[in-house]
Amino acid sequence: MRVAILGMGAIGQHVANVLAGRCELVRVDRTRAPLRDGEPTVDVAIVTTKTPGTAWAAEQAARILAPDGVALTIQNGLGNHETLAAAIGAERVAVGVIYVGAGWRKDGTHYVTGPGRIEAGRPSDRAAAARLEALAGLLRAGKTDVAIVDDPWPTVWRKLVLNAVLNPTSAVLDATYGELLGDPGRALLCDAIARESARVATAVGYALGDDAAVADWRALTTAMPEHRSSMHADVAARRPTEIDAINGALVREAARHGLRAPANQAMTVLVPALGG
């Protein structure tokens, strides 16, 4: 099986490490490894780029994906599925999430908190669904926990809420996850974002209780206290962030359902003010 990874950041590197030696890998990155002219088609395209790069990733997927192939997005935020679907057809797009902490140390070496867990929705095209199942087998062989489900959107929204809490606060407060949890004032802010975001998710149709949302972020920070969010790294490097696809998306969905989301809106102002 030929598998392309579109976006060789920290998550893309982790997925490449898991799949190394188990399939033929094609690593594609906007700056370091652009898609080569005449590259043979691939069976699977895994989209791991940050959301500002989704349009680029969709263009690459349209160029390289075989007619019976599948594109899997495990990106943060909302809007990625729609962009990919417009480029290659919704029936061949699998939307999913990945739970793992990954990043780059100051010396340039890569780190990861564990093999991770992926949940992905089964695409409607039968051949694409078969490709996704085959990919899941390869990932499981690399010790990654993978679940293929009929409806991934409840999990996508739960991950969105988690991202909305931790990504911007780690960046704005220049804090590790442990520092967010350990400081009463910072923790209170995170609780407020979690509760607000859960109410938006519930209004959209993906029921998530306030207490469950609070428990989610507290459990994750307990599990990886030394980790900082990817948005923290983006702000520090003055790169574009995913704030619009995460907190901005929650603000827009809140407005669509007659709600306000002031805590999320504040994050959409503060993160760009820091240069992200």
Domain extent, residue 219, equals 154-273
Q: How deeply is 268 buried, as exposed, middle or buried, from its count of CB atoms within 10 A (0-12, 13-18, 19+)?
A: buried
State the pLDDT at residue 36: 84
Domain end, chosen from 151, 181, 200, is at 151
State the pLDDT at residue 101: 86
Is 145 found in the same domain as 25?
Answer: yes
69-96 pLDDT tens trace: 999 999 999 999 999 999 999 999 999 9
92-123 pLDDT tens trace: 999 999 999 888 888 889 988 888 999 999 99
44 has which bridge partners? 3, 70
Is 118 found in the same domain as 30?
Answer: yes
139-176 pLDDT tens trace: 999 999 999 999 999 999 999 999 999 999 999 999 99
When pLDDT is averaged across residues 234-240 and rounded to a whole number, the result is: 93
Say if residues 94 and 65 touch (Cβ distance below 8 Å). no
Is 7 found in the same domain as 96?
Answer: yes
pLDDT at 215 over 80: yes
Structure tokens belonging to residue 102: 């990954």
Is 263 found in the same domain as 241?
Answer: yes
State the pLDDT at residue 105: 86
Is 96 found in the same domain as 26?
Answer: yes
Is 191 found in the same domain as 91?
Answer: no
What gap in Å lies between CA 65 and CA 75, rounded to an integer? 18
Is 24 found in the same domain as 147?
Answer: yes
- pTM comes to 0.94
Query: Please, which residues have CB within 8 angstroms of residue 215's CB and are 6 or more apart in sequence?
Result: none
Query: Please, which residues have CB within 8 angstroms of residue 16's CB and are 6 or more apart in sequence?
Result: 5, 8, 25, 27
Domain end, chosen from 151, 167, 187, is at 151
What gap in Å lies between CA 60 and CA 4, rounded to an integer? 10
Query: Please, which residues have CB within 8 angstroms of residue 175's CB and are 6 or more apart in sequence?
Result: 169, 183, 186, 228, 232
When pLDDT is averaged across residues 235-246 and rounded to a whole number, the result is: 95
CATH of the domain at 185: 1.10.1040.10
Domain end, chosen from 123, 151, 179, is at 151
Is 132 found in the same domain as 163?
Answer: no
Is 133 found in the same domain as 7?
Answer: yes
Side-chain half-sphere of 120: how many Cα atoms within 13 Å?
A: 32
Total domains, the chain: 2
pLDDT at 32 over 80: no
Is 199 found in the same domain as 114?
Answer: no
CATH of the domain at 113: 3.40.50.720
Share the mean pLDDT of the chain.
95
Is 160 found in the same domain as 78?
Answer: no
DSSP reduced 3-state for 232: helix
Distance of CA 199 to the CA centre of its chain: 21
Is 139 found in the same domain as 13?
Answer: yes
35-70 pLDDT tens trace: 888 889 999 999 999 999 999 999 999 999 999 999
Helices 153-172 & 249-256, crossing angle to 10 degrees?
120
